[in-house]
Structure 1
Amino acid sequence: MTKQTQKQNKRMKLAQVLHMNGGLGKSSYASNSLVQRKVISITKPIIEEAMTEFYTRMLPSPHTISIADLGCSCGPNTLLVAAELVKIIVKLRQKLDREPPPEFQIHLNDLPGNDFNSIFRYLLPMFREELREEIGGGEEAGRRCFVSGVPGSFYGRLFPTKSLHFVHSSYSLMWLSKVPEGVKMNKENIYIASTSPQNVINAYYEQFQRDFSSFLICRSEEVIGGGRMVLTFLGRKSASARSKECCYIWELLSLALKQLVLEGVIEKEKLHSFHIPQYTPSPTEVKAEVEKEGSFTVNRLEVSEITWASCGNDFHLPELVASGNEYNVAKCMRSVAEPLLIEHFGESVIDRLFEKYREIIFDRMSREETKFFNVTISMTRRE
């Protein structure tokens, strides 16, 4: 087997296991995605501004507005932005007195391992009902929205040329297409850490550059001139990639894994060969790639923050009541990382691992303020 074939196989394998926990259980992403929901709420004014400017300036008004949500996952957030965008257009059309009312083509994209079945079985009916209640029009409101699932990597082409009017992505683009080459010497660090060698940090950053550049090139072909794109990354405000702003949550998981190594539950070699395929960029790094690719104009670039304690349960489902915020942080991370961990370490260690992780998080949250940082960029496709 050639090295090139081995690389392709690794990339395909990652695409199969890189997904959030499906279903509706206690460890599912659907039950543990409150932080992501709050981040969408924080960025809502930017999303609303972008769509308002697009629709106001687009003359004649398109009969069909095509919206893509990339990295949609599965849960209460999946159709949240799409619903908001539809409501914005409906209100604007009435205000501007434009006829006829548009139809909406909504594309939900994620990797093939995503739980698309739950989206269409449970979430889509709720989405249509919400539109009927909030914008009126009876059955007609739901019928004017056509929703499709688009499995595949957003680091490649997904849609026909110049077919999209609006692209949204939140908490997805920090995930890389593969584990970077040259990170083996990171040893017990499963991600960038304060002790990571500089060449490991360089490898992560260079992989982010390649991936985000590919993303921008593909979207530049798919988005019409004047179309909009709003992207939110889990990132950092610091210039240093070693900053606790972006690395701390994974460093604590590394500590939990090291404890299992000491107990003989996990082999040391297994830990040394496990690496998180993620890069949490700074605003400067995001902007630099957009300007380098050249197809989009940057309208807004902002950093926001949200505490780890925001992982707490606000969905008001009895089966999701937790005993404390530290438990919710651990469950939130489990819903995100469990498929990767099972693939590498096996399912038998997972419960014990997250018991350790919960204890470590409780200790740190009791002694210091812990936050997630978000980088949001709003862009226009050049004409």
Structure 2
Amino acid sequence: MKVDEVFHMNGGNGEYSYAQNSSLQKKTSDMTKHITVKCLEKTYASMTPTSLGIADLGCASGQNTLSSIREMVEAIDETSSKLSNTAPPEYRVYLNDLYTNDFNSLFKNLPDFYDELKNKRHMRRHGFDSSIYIAAYPGTFYGRLFPDKCLHFVYSFSSLHWLSRVPSELYDKQGNSINKGSVSITKTSPAEASIAYSNQFQKDFSLFLHSRSKELLSEGRMVLMLLGRRNQSHVDRGNSLLWELLSQSFALLVAQGEIEQEKFDEYDTHFYAPSKNELEEEIKKEGSFVIDHFEIFETELKHKACVSYGTIVAKTTRAIQESMISNHFGERILDNLFENYGRMIDEELVKEDIKPVSFIIVLKKI
């Protein structure tokens, strides 16, 4: 299975679309937006370009994308006014995701986005205005996307934990997975599975950094937010546990005769949660960036009698993983799979909170 030909967030605005099921990502974005905005302001103030190039890598679809752009434009509008009391720069905003992404849903929302921003600008800036050019740049960010030195600022939210491929080292010479019974790294996975995922992440992240180093101007910055883990152990009561519960949901369908054991054993995800040390080592090894800021934070899932976090997480996961799962198993298992998954999460939350770990990293181009 070629990930870049199959993987995408669910498009449109239906019940299981990413647009309707990305509240957890929005919560994380809101927790860290002050870091993103401050970083962009510093970049603009130090470079003061008349045309500001910004790239969103892994933009997906839905309101989160345009909300982030609006916040950035408003921040730079204000910064430019304080610096020189003149019109802000023109904005070149490049939205990147895989070819299969629902870019059409994003563009349908652009007229309202422009109208709202224009009204806010005129209320706040007494007529100062500038052009905003928003374009799609489809393709994998594990490789070059843009011309040399055309960007001032890059940000990527909830994307870099998705690898370019399922690691080839997960399979033996006969093509059989060594990670049977798990769709990612869980407590039942062999050590070789963890090594395979780690090796693939190192290759991908290094290529990501090298590619962006060519596209960013000197002194340009990147803000990267991705899921991770607290220490060297690949198993924790966070992202790893959520994948373990999804694996158990598949196993239940096997026991019920809805899918074959062999089909389950053949399925592996392309997700990897790195440690802080892994990220720092690859950044240092690649050598094009210095770390301005590195922060670890938790998105805590707590048991509440009036809220089914299991349902919320299950719908979010379905919006992200449905394309891959349906490609391998077919669509008929989806409802039962994610109903089981949501129930298992709620049962686990009764025992103890689940605390997925995320990182936000600010990198400056040397």
TM-score by length of 2: 0.93
CA contact (8 A) 1:132 1:141 kept: no
In structure 2, C-alpha distance between the alignment counterparts of 1:342 and 1:141, rounded to whole Å = 49
Q: Is the contact between residue 131 and residue 142 of structure 1 (CA under 8 Å) also seen in structure 2?
A: no
Report sequence identity in percent: 41
1:49 and 2:42 aligned: no
Alpha-carbon distance in 2 for matches of 1:303, 1:213: 21
Please tell me the residue identity of whatever aligns with 1:217.
Answer: H
Match of 1:295 among 288, 312, 322: 288
Letter matched to residue 378 of structure 1: V
Please, which runs of 5 or more residues in structure 2 have no aligned partner?
A: 171-176
Q: Is residue 2:354 matched to residue 1:370?
A: yes
1:93 aligns with 2:80: yes
Q: For 1:82, which of 64, 69, 74 is the aligned residue?
A: 69
Cα distance change of structure 1 residues 142 and 235 upon mapping to structure 2, 3 Å threshold? farther
The residue identity in structure 2 corresponding to 1:380 is K
Q: 1:1-383 counterparts in 2 under 5 A?
A: 10=1, 13-58=2-47, 61-97=48-84, 99-122=86-109, 124-136=110-122, 144-183=131-170, 184-308=177-301, 324-382=308-366
- Using the TM superposition, give the Cα deviation of residue 197 of structure 1 relative to its aligned residue in structure 2, in angstroms: 1.1
CA deviations on 1:87-127 (whole Å, 9 max, x unpaired) are 111001111115443100000000011000100012x2232
Deviates more, 1:269-278 or 1:233-242: 233-242
Q: Is the 8 A contact 1:68 1:166 kept in 2?
A: yes
Q: SS of the residue aligned with 1:308? A: coil
Count of aligned pairs:
359
Structure 1 residue 143, shift from structure 2 partner: 6.2
C-alpha spacing 1:143/1:342, structure 2 compared with 1 (3 Å): farther
Q: Which moved more, 1:230-239 or 1:125-134?
A: 125-134
Give the letter aligned to residue 57 of structure 2. L
Tell me which amino acid in the other structure corresponds to 1:44. K
SS at match of 1:226: strand
Q: Aligned letter for 1:16?
A: E
1:267 is displaced (CA, Å) by 0.4
Distance 1:323 1:291 in 2: 43
Quick one: distance in 2 between partners of 1:374 and 1:133? 35
1:19–1:339: 8 Å Cα contact kept in structure 2?
Answer: yes
Shift of 1:31: 0.4
**TM-score normalised to structure 1 length:** 0.89
Structure 2 SS opposite 1:354: helix
CA contact (8 A) 1:34 1:310 kept: no
Give the letter aligned to residue 80 of structure 2. R
SS of residue in 2 equivalent to 1:44:
helix
Other-structure match for 1:3: none
Shift of the 126–234 alpha-carbon distance from structure 1 to 2, 3 Å rule, reads farther
Q: Which amino acid aligns with 1:179?
A: V
Distance 1:199 1:171 in 2: 26
When the two chains are superposed, the root-mean-square deviation of aligned CA atoms in Å is: 2.1
CA distance in 2, matches of 1:133, 1:369: 43
